[in-house]
């Protein structure tokens, strides 16, 4: 067993305006993001299946050319290799789970 406290995990700015705390297992990665208003992740895809939870704020999310405004409580499923992008319309707090684990985030 590995026990860590989220408040003690060092925050990393992995993309401009995306401040993340990462927790990794063998098969998945869990990311807790604090996102600055106006910060965007450009269109991209990855082999990881991804689940996103909007904890607070308004987040514009595009998946395969369809754009939706996501708000607190919204859950998003991003299948493996699906093209997606996003932009924080306000300051946001987001949570992502990736499978398999994101070695590039370690």
Any idea where the domains of the chain sit in the sequence? 31-105
CA 81 to chain centre: 15
pLDDT (mean) for 12-17:
96
The secondary structure of residue 16, as a DSSP letter, is T
Q: Which fold has domain 31-105?
A: Jelly Rolls (2.60.120)
| Contact between 56 and 88 (Cβ < 8 Å) | no
Within a 13 Å sphere around the CA of 19, how many CA atoms are in the beta-carbon half?
Answer: 11
pTM: 0.94
Looking at the DSSP bridge assignments, the partners of residue 98 are 29, 50
- C-beta atoms surrounding 23 within 10 Å: 14
| pLDDT tens track for 40-98 | 999 999 999 999 999 999 999 999 999 999 999 999 999 999 999 999 999 999 999 99
pLDDT tens digit sequence for 23-55:
999 999 999 999 999 999 999 999 999 999 999
Q: Which of 10, 28, 29 is nearest to 20 (CA)?
A: 10
Q: Where are the beta strands (DSSP E) in 7-57?
A: 12-15, 18-24, 29-35, 40-44, 49-56
């Amino acid at each position: 067993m590995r026990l860590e406290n989220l408040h003690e995990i060092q925050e990393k700015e992995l993309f401009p305006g995306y401040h993340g705390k990462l927790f990794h297992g063998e098969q998945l990665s869990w990311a807790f993001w604090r996102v600055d208003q106006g910060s965007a992740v450009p269109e991209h895809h990855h082999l990881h299946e991804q689940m996103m939870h909007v904890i607070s704020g308004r987040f514009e999310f595009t998946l395969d050319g369809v754009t939706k405004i996501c708000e607190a409580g919204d859950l998003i499923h991003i299948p493996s290799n699906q093209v997606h992008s996003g932009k924080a319309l306000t300051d946001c707090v987001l949570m992502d789970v990736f499978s398999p684990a994101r070695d590039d985030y370690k």
